Amino acid sequence: MIKRATVTLTDEVAKDLEDYLARTTPTPSFTAVVQTALRQFLAQQKLESLGFRPAAGPLRITPAEPTLVLRHVAEQHDQFLADHE
């Protein structure tokens, strides 16, 4: 089933869209851009309805200082977990 829609864009959004289309090769159709944006929006809404939230920022992990114990655990994690149940 195909639905038709009339879309009204603000001047700012229209300009941003024109700029995007001008610098994108090959140039996507207006329909493709709108469908992609709508799919992304609906996917995000579905995730949010399930309780997922976008990340607050990039994940930053500070690596631990390498030690013999950590190297052993990294290489033989199954045995380490079995020994510490």
Question: Which DSSP symbol is given to 25?
Answer: S
Q: Where are the domains of the chain?
A: 1-53
Which DSSP helix (H) or strand (E) runs through 39?
helix 30-49
Residues 17 and 44: their CA atoms lie apart, in Å, by 21
Summarize pLDDT for 23-68 with one digit per residue, the tens: 999 999 999 999 999 999 999 999 999 999 888 899 998 877 766 5
Q: Is 18 helix (H, G, I), strand (E, B) or coil?
A: helix
* Half-sphere exposure of residue 35: CA atoms within 13 angstroms, side-chain side: 8
Residue 73 above 90 pLDDT?
Answer: no
Structure token digits, residue 79: 């045995």
Distance, CA of 34 to CA of 8 (rounded, Å): 12
Predicted structure pTM score: 0.58
**Range with lowest mean pLDDT among 9-23, 43-57, 65-79:** 65-79
> In this structure, how many other beta carbons lie within 10 angstroms of the beta carbon of residue 9?
13
